[in-house]
């Protein structure tokens, strides 16, 4: 297993809602950005996904909100694996948003299905992609799905 992949960012104007704190959709966008950065940093760029004719599709999100963030607040966005099914066609991505000091702000648990981009059906990922997921940092409650 590898260390937890983490991206550092902050709250911008576009992230705010009418209450002047970070809006729900902005947390989701920070998580998606971290996911794409993780794959890209691991050598799986959009071009590689296209070559492999595979994509990941989020079929369910569960969120837990713990505290507010405001304009300019710094954050750490992490990605971990919460579980994989036996066929490797599904896995649980867990994104955690933390303060710089490590206090949890938000957690997003996303069930992901690998999609064959030609057949538009669920698929098993290529071995390199399967190995990448298998070697991700894991949550404390990692389990077989």
| Cα-based angle 133, 135, 136 (whole degrees, multiple of 5) | 65
Query: What is the C-alpha to C-alpha distance for residues 131 and 135, in angstroms, rounded to an integer?
Result: 6
Ranges of beta strands (E only) in 13-103 are: 54-65, 74-84, 90-98
Q: Which of 118, 129, 46, 34 has its CA nearest to residue 91?
A: 129
Query: Residue 2's pLDDT is what?
Result: 80
Q: Which residues of the chain have pLDDT under 50?
A: none
Give residue 40's domain range. 5-144
Query: What is the C-alpha to C-alpha distance for residues 80 and 140, in angstroms, rounded to an integer?
Result: 10
Domain count along the chain:
1
The mean of the pLDDT values for the chain is 96
Q: Residue 93 maps to which CATH number?
A: 3.10.129.10
Q: Are strands 104-116 and 74-84 parallel, antiparallel or unpaired?
A: unpaired
Cα atoms found within 13 Å of the Cα of residue 130, Cβ hemisphere only: 11
Strand partners, 44: none
Q: In this structure, are residues 54 and 119 in contact, taking their beta carbons and an 8 Å threshold?
A: no
Query: What is the C-alpha to C-alpha distance for residues 110 and 62, in angstroms, rounded to an integer?
Result: 6
Query: Residue 1's pLDDT is what?
Result: 58
């Amino acid at each position: 297993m590898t260390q937890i992949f983490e991206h550092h960012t902050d709250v911008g104007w576009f992230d705010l809602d009418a209450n002047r704190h970070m809006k729900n959709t902005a947390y989701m966008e920070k998580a998606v950005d971290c996911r794409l950065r993780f794959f890209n940093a691991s050598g799986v760029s959009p071009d590689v996904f296209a070559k492999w004719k595979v994509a990941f599709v989020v079929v369910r999100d569960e969120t837990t909100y713990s505290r507010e963030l405001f304009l300019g607040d710094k954050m750490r966005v992490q990605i971990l694996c919460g579980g994989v099914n036996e066929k490797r066609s599904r896995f649980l991505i867990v994104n955690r948003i933390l303060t710089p000091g490590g206090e949890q702000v938000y957690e997003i648990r996303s069930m992901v299905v690998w999609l064959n981009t030609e057949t538009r059906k669920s698929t098993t990922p290529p071995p390199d992609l399967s190995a990448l997921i298998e070697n991700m940092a894991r949550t404390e409650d990692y389990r077989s799905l």
